[in-house]
């Protein structure tokens, strides 16, 4: 029926890169191993043990049990240090240039300095905080890589091809250019190609993201991963099974994740120049001691300087704020996967939306019905629904839902790629697209509805057209309110969609979107997002597999988690557990506030280092005073970071037009 709309190899997933410290250490998971829940994640075991031992040591110390406290601190230090010290030493030996230096090295030296000066509890705290932050970042990267396999699952393991000796089943990865694929009803297309014979409708939502299928016939192009409808198609392959539009999506996501891995976190960017400066200063202090003939005094001062310059408060500044803010966001349905994602979310200046399933409901519905005057809208819908009740086409569901009380049809026949015919109450009825059935006197109405971005169904009785039905995937009721709220925050908006230009502009106008880019393939969306992020930090919001490359390429990718595909959710940095678009401005405002708190915390931590450094260098403050100041600073940083847990959400009244309102209500809204 005609409606208008629009087991390969597993790729090598790039090794995550720490922007400051070089390649991250392996997490202990195999490439195909699923990321377990956090309570069963072995990678979190040592950081958690380190934290528990540190807290236990504090309790024992307060109780006056100094010797047991010292032992517990030492074991906790060893547990936390084991997660990053071996990697730090390895980088010192194998890496080149500034790749050898990083937060890990500074933490290692600071912990050693604290131990040499007898402050094992301070060293244990450093080891715990740094190990838990690094492990959580590694876990977020593992989940992102896991999402790539969801993309590859769309390609069937085998393909049916025509050979001289007849049909053969071969691995999909072995399909070559010019092979003729035979794709039956309901089967997925193994690779890109061109239809050589047969007619059908095809669900391309996995690639284009559009919920309304497209008719195909001889000469039409097909995309890998598309699902065939009711007919059988012969398709001549134009791409190998290992190199097609779907595997290209996977590679785009890979490249985007590799690029993101090179983006330093805020603390890393600060530590990059801090590490070599502190190390050089400590070495110069020791050398000065030998020059003046008092090496012991100046060596001790060098160690005190290392402790003074140790990023204890800096190590806490980011995690405390991030954990507080992320925990608060999760309470209203926003899951932020990592600290880096939270930091970037607070910088966003432009928001890009996918259309289908994000701005719209992803549920095609009857919007309006125009009649020839001799029949009522109820008659037209009833006759169309009588035939459509036997069809598996997605648009059939929209029509049957609009006419629950319908007559019975007999002798129903489906002509793939055209429409349906049958007998209702003794009359011969046909339903199909304007390409198959001439709208006759309703040509003007058909043109008008098509201009509004609707898919059309023409209803004909005894060779006379009695009505035209307009079907469209409608805008979410809260979309315009959410876009207005984003504009009030000073953010620009853009819509990227694989749908046709007319439909895209019609939806964008109703939502209030600033900029529209239609008929976009996944690689087009990703390229547009990459270009946008070079100009201004950009968030991409989507829910489909076709959005995965753009989500991964954005400064922050946001997936609509309830209806979103697994690949989209895993490729994104943030996932919404609900579908209310008004959460977007709330989440962005929350992140901006949290980032401001984080920035003030980092400024305080750096100020402590700047003040303590000269005081420690010239012996004004001894180790005890330096440690005391550090502890006070840590308490202040923690209290300030906890403020990020306060979320200021706007009240969102229930919208009068729910997602399940009747089609008549939609008709009123469209005409308005």
Q: How many other β-carbons are positioned within 10 Å of the β-carbon of residue 619?
A: 12
Angle at CA 535, nearest 5°, toward 529 and 508?
A: 50
Residue 540 has pLDDT above 60, yes or no: yes
Report the pLDDT averaged over residues 63-81: 90
Name which residue leads in pLDDT, 124 or 667.
Answer: 124
Please report the pLDDT score of residue 17 as a whole number: 38
Q: Where are the beta strands (DSSP E) in 507-645?
A: 515-517, 538-542, 556-560, 574-576
Please report the pLDDT score of residue 548 as a whole number: 79
Q: How many other β-carbons are positioned within 10 Å of the β-carbon of residue 63?
A: 10
Residue 189 has pLDDT above 50, yes or no: yes
Q: What value does the mean pLDDT of the chain take?
A: 77
**Percent of the chain scoring above 70 in pLDDT:** 75
Residue 247 has pLDDT above 90, yes or no: no
411 burial type by CB count under 10 A (0-12 exposed, 13-18 middle, 19+ buried):
exposed
* Residue 100: pLDDT band with limits 50, 70, 90: low
Residue 86, C-beta contacts closer than 8 angstroms, at least 6 positions apart: 25
Please report the pLDDT score of residue 506 as a whole number: 84
Give the DSSP letter string of 406-471.
Answer: ---EEEEEEETTTEEEEEETTEEEEEE-TTTS--GGGHHHHHHHHHTT-EEEEEEETTEEEEEEEE
| Residue range 346-372, pLDDT digits in tens | 899 999 998 887 888 777 889 889 988
Residue 335 has pLDDT above 90, yes or no: no
Q: Does 215 participate in catalysis according to the annotation?
A: no
Nearest to 270 by CA among 322, 321, 314: 314
Catalytic residue among 354, 379, 543, 666: 354
| Residue range 191-206, pLDDT digits in tens | 989 999 998 888 876 6
SS3 202: strand
Name which residue leads in pLDDT, 665 or 247.
Answer: 247
Please report the pLDDT score of residue 136 as a whole number: 64
Among 1-15, 46-60, 85-99, 121-135, which is the least confidently predicted range? 1-15
Residue 401, C-beta contacts closer than 8 angstroms, at least 6 positions apart: 365, 366, 663
Residue pair 340/16 in contact (Cβ under 8 Å)? The answer is: no
What Å distances lie between residue 179 and 53, 165, 234, 240, 246, CA to CA? Answer: 63, 14, 10, 9, 18
- Report the alpha-carbon distance of residue 359 to residue 473 in Å, rounded: 10
Report the pLDDT averaged over residues 280-291: 88
| Residue range 623-643, pLDDT digits in tens | 667 766 766 776 787 778 778
Long-range contacts from 559-567, C-beta under 8 angstroms, 24+ separation:
560/357, 560/358, 561/335, 563/357, 563/362, 564/357, 565/150, 565/206, 566/147, 566/150, 567/147, 567/148, 567/150, 567/151, 567/253
Please report the pLDDT score of residue 35 as a whole number: 58
- Report the alpha-carbon distance of residue 583 to residue 597 in Å, rounded: 21
- Report the alpha-carbon distance of residue 672 to residue 661 in Å, rounded: 16
* Residue 142: pLDDT band with limits 50, 70, 90: low
- Report the alpha-carbon distance of residue 655 to residue 277 in Å, rounded: 57
Residue tagged 């995965």 (tokens):
548
């Amino acid at each position: 029926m005609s409606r208008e709309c629009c087991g390969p190899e597993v790729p090598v997933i790039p090794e995550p890169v720490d922007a400051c410290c070089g390649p991250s250490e392996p997490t202990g998971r195999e490439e195909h191993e699923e990321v377990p829940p956090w309570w069963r994640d072995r990678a979190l075991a040592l950081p958690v043990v380190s934290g528990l031992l540190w807290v236990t040591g504090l309790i024992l110390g307060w109780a006056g049990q100094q010797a047991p406290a010292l032992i517990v601190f030492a074991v906790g230090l060893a547990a936390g240090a084991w997660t990053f010290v071996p990697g730090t030493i390895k980088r010192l030996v194998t890496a080149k240039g500034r790749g050898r230096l990083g937060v890990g090295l500074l933490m290692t030296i600071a912990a050693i300095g604290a131990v040499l000066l007898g402050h094992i509890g301070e060293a244990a705290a450093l080891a715990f905080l740094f190990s838990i932050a690094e492990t959580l970042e590694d876990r977020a990267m593992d989940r992102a890589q896991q999402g790539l396999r969801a993309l590859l699952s769309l390609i069937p393991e085998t393909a049916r091809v025509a050979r001289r000796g007849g049909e053969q089943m071969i691995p999909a990865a072995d399909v070559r250019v010019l092979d003729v694929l035979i794709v039956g009803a309901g089967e997925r297309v193994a690779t890109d190609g061109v239809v050589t014979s047969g007619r059908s409708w095809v669900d391309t939502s996995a690639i284009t993201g559009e919920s309304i299928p497209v008719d195909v016939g001889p000469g039409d192009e097909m995309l890998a991963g598309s699902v065939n409808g009711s007919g059988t198609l012969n398709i001549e392959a134009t791409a190998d099974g290992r190199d097609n539009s779907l595997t290209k999506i996977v590679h785009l996501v890979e490249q985007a994740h590799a690029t993101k891995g090179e983006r330093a976190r805020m603390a890393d960017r600060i530590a990059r120049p801090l590490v070599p400066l502190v190390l050089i200063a400590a070495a110069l202090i020791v050398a000065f001691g030998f020059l003046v003939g008092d090496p012991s005094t100046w060596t001790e001062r060098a160690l005190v300087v290392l402790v003074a310059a140790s990023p204890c408060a800096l190590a806490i500044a980011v995690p405390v704020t991030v954990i507080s803010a992320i925990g608060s966001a999760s309470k209203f349905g926003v899951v932020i996967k990592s600290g880096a994602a939270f930091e970037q979310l607070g910088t966003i200046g432009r928001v890009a939306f996918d259309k289908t399933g994000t701005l719209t409901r992803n549920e095609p519905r009857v919007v309006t019905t125009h009649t020839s005057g001799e029949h009522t809208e109820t008659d037209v819908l009833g006759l169309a629904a009588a035939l459509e009740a036997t069809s598996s086409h997605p648009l059939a569901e929209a029509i049957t839902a609009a006419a629950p009380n319908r007559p019975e049809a007999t002798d129903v026949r489906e002509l793939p790629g055209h429409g349906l015919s049958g007998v209702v109450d003794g009359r011969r009825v046909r339903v199909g697209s304007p390409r198959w059935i001439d709208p006759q006197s309703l040509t003007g109405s058909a043109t008008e509805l098509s201009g509004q971005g609707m898919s059309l169904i023409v209803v004909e009785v005894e060779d006379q057209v009695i009505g035209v039905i307009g079907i469209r995937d409608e805008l979410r009721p809260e979309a315009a309110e959410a876009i207005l709220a984003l504009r009030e925050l000073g953010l620009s908006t853009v819509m990227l969609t694989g749908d046709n230009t007319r439909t895209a502009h019609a939806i964008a106008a109703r939502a209030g979107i600033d900029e529209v880019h239609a008929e976009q393939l996944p690689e087009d969306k990703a390229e547009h997002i990459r270009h946008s992020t070079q100009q201004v930090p950009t968030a991409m919001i989507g829910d489909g597999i076709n959005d995965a490359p753009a989500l991964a390429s954005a400064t922050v990718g946001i997936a609509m988690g309830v209806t979103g595909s697994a690949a989209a959710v895993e490729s994104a940095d943030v996932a919404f557990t609900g579908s209310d678009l008004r959460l977007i401005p709330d989440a962005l405002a929350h992140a901006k506030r949290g980032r401001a708190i984080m920035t003030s915390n980092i400024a305080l931590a750096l100020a402590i280092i700047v003040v303590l450094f000269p005081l420690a260098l010239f012996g004004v403050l001894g180790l005890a005073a330096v440690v005391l100041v550090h502890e006070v600073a840590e308490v202040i940083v923690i209290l300030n970071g906890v403020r990020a847990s306060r979320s200021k959400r706007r009240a969102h009244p229930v919208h009068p037009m729910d997602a399940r309102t009747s089609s008549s209500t939609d008709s009123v809204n469209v005409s308005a």
